[in-house]
Structure 1
Amino acid sequence: MPGFVLLARDRADGDPARRIGITVSKKVGNAVVRNRMKRRFRSLAREVLSAHGLPGHDHVLIGRAGGIERPYADLVRDLVKAIGRVAPRP
């Protein structure tokens, strides 16, 4: 199971910028765990969203329990797959 949920929303404002939001609830762990997960998500977003993100969309990563233990390579694969799922169909 992935360590996050991805939400994507088309801004429909004509701006092709890809924006990111990150949230991790207190259910996931204490402040140290939550901040560590947010740092991993920021790194993940820099790496993956620049190449695979949807232009003109806001992307929100919601951290889930177990995401901190997942290997980084698995998170990259999960995010690429999740972006493919939320991409608009022609």
Structure 2
Amino acid sequence: MLFHVRMDVGVPHDLDPDVRAELVATEKARALELQRAGTWVHLWRVVGQYSNISVFDVADATEMHDLLWSLPLFPYMQVQVTALTEHPSALSAQEP
């Protein structure tokens, strides 16, 4: 099941710089792990913002929820999740 996810990150400015650096490093490692596993299919930066647009391929909404909660920066995120399904006019939906 595909999900479109927008993540807007708002790390507090007064967070200890060492804590922030560790959070960012562990977030990157987790993102790379999920991409290599084929779960985090697309990851796009929103220009001029500390935000991303992503596409995830997971079994269901529960797995999507658990995945988001596993992200180290999740406590500092505003997240919008939209379930996706194939559009009937998509090339992939056409019969050969």
Superposition TM-score tier, normalisation by shorter sequence = 0.3 to 0.5
Larger radius of gyration: 2
Structure 1-normalised TM-score? 0.39
Q: Report which of the two has the higher share of strand.
A: 2
Structure 2-normalised TM-score? 0.37
